[in-house]
Structures are given as C-alpha cells and as structure tokens.
C-alpha cells in the first residue's frame, strides 16, 4: 500500500506542477487549486490497468467538479483546462505509465 501511495503522490506532484486551469487568462496550477491529488487518485488505477485513453481521460475530467465563487457554482474540470493542457496531461500520463 505504501508503494501505491508513493506512486500516486509522485503522479500528483507531476500533474500539479505541469497542468493548470485557465481562469480569465490566469494559470492556476492544479497543485495550487488542490485538484492534483484527486485527479491522480482517479487516474492511477487506469494507468496500472493500461486502459487509459483520451476518451477515458475526458470522462474523468468531466466527472471532477470544481467549485467557483465560494461554492455558488460548479464546473467540470474539463471545462477549465485549455485543450493544450489536456494534451499535455495525456502525454504526461503516457510517460508516467511507461515508468511503471
């Protein structure tokens, strides 16, 4: 279990440092938004199963709600990630999967 926890933490750190949401042309990295760990948790099992693809990633991003305005509204994470960040995330995950 500790090994999986360390692997998820390492994945979360990679995601948090490299992937951001765009709000009014401000880049808020997922680590600063506290979204990197929840995303890594959701993705890790797919990486182990070697079943991650673009459609699966999009479904996961659609399923993670991000509260805005103190919780007055909520948007799916996919709506806040620029297309290039989604591509970068998929590349990052493919590279990470090769290391497993």
Q: Delimit the domains of the chain by residue range.
A: 2-99
Tell me the C-alpha distance between 38 and 46, whole Å: 14
Tokens coding 41: 């948790």
- Backbone φ and ψ of 63, nearest 5°: -90, -5
Listed in sequence order, the residues at least 6 apart from 7 whose beta carbon sits closer than 8 Å to its beta carbon are 44, 100
pLDDT at 4: 87
3-state secondary structure at position 71: coil
pLDDT tens profile 47-90: 998 888 999 999 999 999 999 999 999 999 999 999 999 999 99
Of 100 and 70, the structure prediction assigns the larger pLDDT to: 70
Global pTM value: 0.91
pLDDT at 12: 97
pLDDT tens profile 15-56: 999 999 999 999 999 999 999 999 999 999 889 988 889 999
Tokens coding 66: 């991000």
């Amino acid at each position: 279990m500790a090994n999986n926890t360390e692997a998820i933490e390492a994945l979360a750190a990679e995601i948090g440092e490299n992937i951001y949401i765009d709000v009014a042309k401000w880049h808020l990295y997922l680590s600063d938004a506290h979204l990197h760990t929840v995303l890594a948790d959701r993705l890790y099992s797919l990486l182990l199963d070697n079943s991650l693809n673009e459609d699966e990633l999009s479904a996961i991003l659609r399923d993670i709600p991000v509260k805005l305005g103190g919780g007055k509204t909520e948007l799916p994470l996919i709506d806040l990630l620029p297309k290039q960040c989604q591509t970068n995330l998929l590349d990052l995950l493919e590279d990470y999967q090769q290391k497993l």
